[in-house]
Amino acid sequence: MIDTDELLSIRAAELYYEENKTQDEIGAVLRLTRWKVGRLLAQAKASGFIRIEIVHPRARRLIVERRLREHTGLSDAVVVSAAGVSTDEELQSRAAQAAADYLTALRPVPATLGISWGRTLHEVAQGLKPGWARGVNVVQINGGVSLNRREGTAAATAVTIAQKALGSATLLPSPAILERVETKLAIESDRAVATVLDLGSAASAYLFSAGQADENSALVDSGYLTADQVAELVRKGAVGDIVGRYINADGHIVDLELDERTIGIRLEQLRRAPTAIAVIAGSTKHAVARAIVSSGLCTVLVTDEDTALAVLGETH
Amino acid sequence: MIDTDELLSIRAAELYYEENKTQDEIGAVLRLTRWKVGRLLAQAKASGFIRIEIVHPRARRLIVERRLREHTGLSDAVVVSAAGVSTDEELQSRAAQAAADYLTALRPVPATLGISWGRTLHEVAQGLKPGWARGVNVVQINGGVSLNRREGTAAATAVTIAQKALGSATLLPSPAILERVETKLAIESDRAVATVLDLGSAASAYLFSAGQADENSALVDSGYLTADQVAELVRKGAVGDIVGRYINADGHIVDLELDERTIGIRLEQLRRAPTAIAVIAGSTKHAVARAIVSSGLCTVLVTDEDTALAVLGETH
DNA sequence: GGAAAACTTGCTCACATGAGCAGAGCCGCA
DNA sequence: TGCGGCTCTGCTCATGTGAGCAAGTTTTCC
């Protein structure tokens, strides 16, 4: 049988929150003093019977953000509401918009911003307001899309962010992954590439997303890897990729040989960065997000509610 | 683009409802006066961005109850929350419990209570507390289960309610539907049956449920009708049955011949009753509930949130 | 361009509410 | 039975909050 006080507190809550009665009026109805009513309401709240939710595409979940800050190594977190969202695309859009907002409010404004590329980053670029900053040098930190897709996606992202920041973009003129280590080393040592890589290593802040490890990965899409190769990586423990490098649940490189052929910033450099903003949302990216956060690959995580709970290890 | 004030009001709501900050503190954070913050919060509420829900099996939806009272002919309504409920059975249990509570609180306490039978009514009987009233004569108002199922369900319901009310039960010793009109007339005029019917006609209050019109109907289950017969009734427009009589969406008898062979209170008598409590819940019963309410077959409806919205014509 | 209308802003004031506290009632234990 | 500790109750008081108002600001329309 349910406790009498519990039932009373529910009746009180109904009158308070649905009928907008004052605690005094409720007291009159239920034959209680107004103080008792106040206590019942507090009890109902404490028991979790009262659920207050902010439903809006731009709503954030501050409570979850705080939990992330407290229970992980993150220095900051942005968690967008997943209320009323059915698709992963929608979640990613919300997170991207939130990342744009975060970037706009970021102080100090980074002189140099290192960015990766991909669908999510592109959306972040779209979400930024023209003039969001006054002069930021945007640098690509990993090799770009260029094999068999529309050439310009990666470049366009960097350029858009830079233009809207009234700054300049520095592109990394190189593929993401090369077939032979020798080629990679050669390209890397080329002055045009080396300069950009050095600039990227010294960026004041980083902004990047992550990809899940499956056949829908952007690296497969761009033709750098085949679905079979990714499947093999998964077999070796890969949960996803970050700046073109596949990691396992511990945040370690899965395939050293492949990694040696990948051009771009190294994970250690990212780990040392004072500001590394990861934008990762959608149900397919829970595992990567968790790996990235727990291994300290980012200092700030922009994500959705469900992914945040997964990172906290509270998957329902 | 989203209105600036709208975004601000969302930020304010986050700080107010999730972080429990005062409007003054929020003003300090967002660089606004506390009055502006108050207005933003009011705006957020008015726009429906703030959703407060009471999650508890015994929670009621007073707002929907009021809408029912205002927009239908009902004199009262009880609407239980459907939050976190997956099955129709659970919804029916909640409604049955709520009906038991309603009956307990009903004033004046009915001297004679006319009841139907069925799964729902049985649950209402279970949900009543022993001693919920002091002396109520419980009368069956329609023919009982008796053909091929456990004999006692209908009787047990009446007896349980009466016992718990420290009162007496008067059973209707008759089947629900007879095969020939002549038999029905004969039984009806038998003193033992006629007395009970008269008592039922003069009850101070009625409590009944309704059945959906499909092969799962209690009348099919009890062997009074075949699945085919019900299908035929549906073809003629039947949406469900109430005290053994099939009605269409307008609340009219679907098959006059069948109705002539049905024993129990007539719908006109129910329509004239000052207190007729219908307990109807579950997604399969939306249509019957609507028919019953709109044709004035009950004065009080005990139901679940979703059914209530269907009755109000707000199915999403 | 200027007046009227509509809206927004910062305020006063009254009311609603939560924190904190003293006393009442209840329980267990000697 | 009597004593100390426990919870629960009703209160005072300080604070948080919404209604209403006048002044300032923007918009609209001639």
Distance, in Å, from the CA atom of B5 to the CA atom of B19, rounded to the nearest integer, reads 20
Reported as a pLDDT band with limits 50, 70 and 90, residue A147 is: very low
Closest in A44, A48, A62 to B18, CB measured = A62
Listed by range, residues with Cβ under 7 angstroms from strand C are A 16, 22-24, 34-35, 38, 41-42; B 32-33, 35-36, 39
Taking CA atoms, A83 is separated from A56, A153, A281, A305, B42, in Å, by 8, 30, 14, 9, 21
What number of other Cβ atoms are within 10 A of residue A248's Cβ?
A: 20
Written as six digits, the tokens of A188 are 């890397």
DSSP state of A16: I
| Residue corresponding to tokens 């980053």 | A121
- A-B interface: how many C-beta pairs under 8 angstroms? 78
Burial environment of residue B144 by CB neighbours within 10 A (0 to 12, 13 to 18, 19 or more): buried
pLDDT exceeds cutoff 80 at A236: yes
Closest in A6, A51, A60 to B53, CB measured = A51
Query: What's the distance, CA B291 to chain centroid?
Result: 12
Model-wide pTM > 0.75 = yes
What number of other Cβ atoms are within 10 A of residue B79's Cβ?
A: 28
Nearest CA to A156 out of A133, A140, A142 is that of A140
For residues A156-185, average pLDDT: 93
The C1' atom of D3 and the CA atom of A36 lie apart, in whole Å, by 30
Q: Which nucleotide is nearest to A35 (CA to C1')?
A: D10
pLDDT number for residue A104: 94
DSSP assignment of A132-181 equals: SSS--EEEE-BPBP-SSS-TTHHHHHHHHHHHHTTSEEE---SBSB-SSH
pLDDT number for residue B148: 47
Closest in A6, A10, A56 to B54, CB measured = A10
First-to-last alpha carbon distance for chain A, in angstroms, is: 27
Taking CA atoms, A265 is separated from A99, A140, A213, in Å, by 21, 9, 20
pLDDT number for residue B282: 96
B192 and B172 Cβ atoms separated by less than 8 Å? no
Listed by range, residues with Cβ under 7 angstroms from strand D are A 32-33, 35-36, 39; B 16, 22-24, 34-35, 38, 41-42
pLDDT number for residue B2: 56
- Kindly provide the b/e burial profile for residues B115-142, where b requires at least 16 CB atoms within 10 angstroms of the residue's own CB: bbbbbbbbbbbebbeeebbeebbbbbbb
A75 and A174 Cβ atoms separated by less than 8 Å? no
Distance, in Å, from the CA atom of B178 to the CA atom of B258, rounded to the nearest integer, reads 9
The residue among A151 and B97 whose pLDDT is bigger is B97
Distance, in Å, from the CA atom of B274 to the CA atom of B204, rounded to the nearest integer, reads 8
Q: What is the pLDDT of residues A250-301, one digit of tens each?
A: 999 999 999 999 999 999 999 999 999 999 999 999 999 999 999 999 999 9
Residue B245 C-beta-side C-alpha neighbours within 13 Å: 27
Distance, in Å, from the CA atom of B125 to the CA atom of B109, rounded to the nearest integer, reads 16
| Residue corresponding to tokens 């009787």 | B155
| Secondary structure class of B74 (helix, strand, coil) | coil
Burial environment of residue B52 by CB neighbours within 10 A (0 to 12, 13 to 18, 19 or more): middle
Residue type, B286: H
Burial environment of residue B272 by CB neighbours within 10 A (0 to 12, 13 to 18, 19 or more): exposed
The C1' atom of C21 and the CA atom of B38 lie apart, in whole Å, by 32
Chain A nearest-CA distance from B218, in A, is: 29
Distance, in Å, from the CA atom of A158 to the CA atom of A81, rounded to the nearest integer, reads 27
Burial environment of residue A256 by CB neighbours within 10 A (0 to 12, 13 to 18, 19 or more): exposed
pLDDT exceeds cutoff 50 at A1: no
Distance, in Å, from the CA atom of A163 to the CA atom of A136, rounded to the nearest integer, reads 9
The C1' atom of D5 and the CA atom of B53 lie apart, in whole Å, by 39
pLDDT exceeds cutoff 90 at A194: yes
Which bases of chain D are under 7 A from a protein CB atom?
9-12, 15-20
pLDDT number for residue A218: 84
| Secondary structure class of B150 (helix, strand, coil) | coil
Evaluated on CA atoms B287, B290, B295, B301, the torsion sign reads positive
Taking CA atoms, B53 is separated from A14, A45, A110, B81, B111, in Å, by 9, 11, 42, 9, 38
Taking CA atoms, A214 is separated from A55, A174, A220, A302, B70, in Å, by 32, 24, 9, 22, 55
> How many residues in total does chain B contain?
316
Taking CA atoms, B60 is separated from B54, B77, B211, in Å, by 8, 10, 23
Q: Which residues pair with B305 in a beta bridge?
A: none
| Residue corresponding to tokens 């439903």 | A55
Written as six digits, the tokens of B243 are 């005290």
pLDDT number for residue A112: 96
pLDDT number for residue B212: 94
What number of other Cβ atoms are within 10 A of residue B295's Cβ?
A: 18
Q: Which residues pair with A140 in a beta bridge?
A: A115
The residue among B316 and A310 whose pLDDT is bigger is A310
B218 and B119 Cβ atoms separated by less than 8 Å? yes
Taking CA atoms, B294 is separated from A182, B269, B281, B308, in Å, by 81, 16, 16, 12
Closest in B14, B50, B53 to A60, CB measured = B14
Reported as a pLDDT band with limits 50, 70 and 90, residue A3 is: low
A278 and A300 Cβ atoms separated by less than 8 Å? yes
Strand-by-strand arrangement of the B210-212 sheet: B210-212, B238-242, B245-248
Residue A62 C-beta-side C-alpha neighbours within 13 Å: 15
Chain B nearest-CA distance from A53, in A, is: 5
Reported as a pLDDT band with limits 50, 70 and 90, residue A150 is: low
Q: pLDDT of chain B along its 316 residues, tens only?
A: 456 788 999 999 999 999 999 999 999 999 999 999 999 999 999 999 999 999 999 999 999 999 999 999 999 999 999 988 889 999 999 999 999 999 999 989 999 999 999 999 999 999 999 999 999 999 999 987 654 455 567 888 999 999 999 999 999 988 899 999 999 999 999 999 999 999 999 999 999 999 999 988 888 888 889 999 999 999 999 999 999 999 999 999 999 999 999 999 999 999 999 999 999 999 999 999 999 999 999 999 999 999 999 999 987 6
Q: Which nucleotide is nearest to B42 (CA to C1')?
A: D18
Q: Which residues pair with A168 in a beta bridge?
A: A137
Extract the runs of DSSP E, i.e. beta strands, from B168-268: 168-170, 205-208, 210-212, 238-242, 245-248
Distance, in Å, from the CA atom of B286 to the CA atom of B160, rounded to the nearest integer, reads 28
Give the ranges where B165-217 is alpha helix by DSSP (H). 181-189, 191-201
Do B49 and A60 lie within an 8 Å CB cutoff? no
Do B52 and A50 lie within an 8 Å CB cutoff? yes
**Nearest Cα residue in chain B from A52:** B52
Written as six digits, the tokens of B99 are 């009906």
Contacts of A8 in chain B (CB under 8 A): none
